[in-house]
Amino acid sequence: MNDLLRRALADARLTEAGIASRLDVDPKTVRRWVAGRVPYPRHRASVAALLGVDEAALWPQVAEIGSREERPVIEILASYPHRWAVPRPVWQHLFEKARDEIGILAYAGLFLAEDRGILRTFAARAREGARVRILLGDPDGACVAERGCDEGVGESMAAKIRNALVHYRALGEVDGVEIRLHDTVLYNSIYRADDDLLINPHAYGIAASHAPVLHLRRAEDGDMASTYLESFERVWARAVPFDERA
């Protein structure tokens, strides 16, 4: 019996059937994993990402064997065909694990702003000393207008941003939370928790919710995740602090 996996499922409030559905495998396969069978590497990575934990926390025996071998650093932990296909527990665990830094770079990211549980997590992490930085598109900016046109939604894009800002008012009195507006062409939305990132690449004419998502982890300077972190900082430096009184 893999008690580590069983407890992780319980903590994430996921069932064997739920995991099977999200990974597109037979429920009996997941039952065998809980019973003690070690999944294939790709399934181990997907399960760990879904539960928001390291593989070593679920299968320490595999990590022990792997540590004896010289292996390349794995930078892409998981991938999802669409942003809407990323299970909510992945988002929740991503931000709950953050200790130093949470960063959001999007045009609207309304799906997060509407999630009261996520907002509570942002507030809790900030109160415990993490820096929470939220970068949204300037609803009056040229880039937001162009993005709305490209997606065929017109002014709805700007309306989504204004709606998101209303939801983020709940964080206005929390020290450590900063919100800025940018007028930048976004090639990706970035969702960061310390060294873990969910990257949502944008595709022309396709809504961000329908575009893929990659789960990356920063392992060393100059790696793939570092490139996106540098991009975040460049946009942050040019963005304007949001003042809801303006």
Give the pLDDT score at 65: 54
Position 154 pLDDT exceeds 80: no
What is the mean predicted confidence (pLDDT) over 215-237? 90
The residues with which 240 forms a beta bridge, in sequence order, are: 181
Mean of all residue pLDDT scores within the chain: 87
pTM: 0.68
Question: What string of H, E and C letters represents the secondary structure of 166-193?
Answer: HHHHHHCCCCCEEEEEECCCCCEEEEEE
**83-141 pLDDT tens trace:** 999 999 999 999 999 999 999 999 888 999 999 999 999 999 999 999 999 999 999 88
pLDDT > 70 fraction of the chain, expressed in percent and rounded: 93
Contact (Cβ atoms closer than 8 angstroms) between residue 192 and residue 103: yes
Is pLDDT at 217 greater than 50 in this prediction?
yes
Whether residue 68 has pLDDT greater than 60: no
Burial 68-102 (b: 16+ CB within 10 A, else e): eeeeeeebebbbbeebeebbebbbbbbbebbeeeb
Give the model confidence (pLDDT) of 15-49 as tens digits: 999 898 888 888 889 998 999 888 888 888 889 88
- Does position 246 have pLDDT exceeding 90, yes or no? no
Q: In this structure, are residues 180 and 242 in contact, taking their beta carbons and an 8 Å threshold?
A: yes
Which pairs from 147-156 meet CB under 8 Å and 24+ separation? 147/107, 147/186, 150/204, 150/205, 151/205, 151/206, 151/207, 152/205, 153/207
77-241 maps to CATH 3.30.70.270: no
Q: Which CATH architecture has domain 3-71?
A: Orthogonal Bundle (1.10)
User: What does the pLDDT read at residue 186?
Assistant: 85
Residue 204: is its pLDDT beyond 50?
yes
Q: Is the pLDDT of residue 70 over 50?
A: no
Spatial separation of the C-alpha atoms in residues 131 and 144, rounded to whole Å? 26
Q: What is the mean pLDDT of residues 201-217?
A: 90
Report domain extents, the chain: 3-71, 77-241
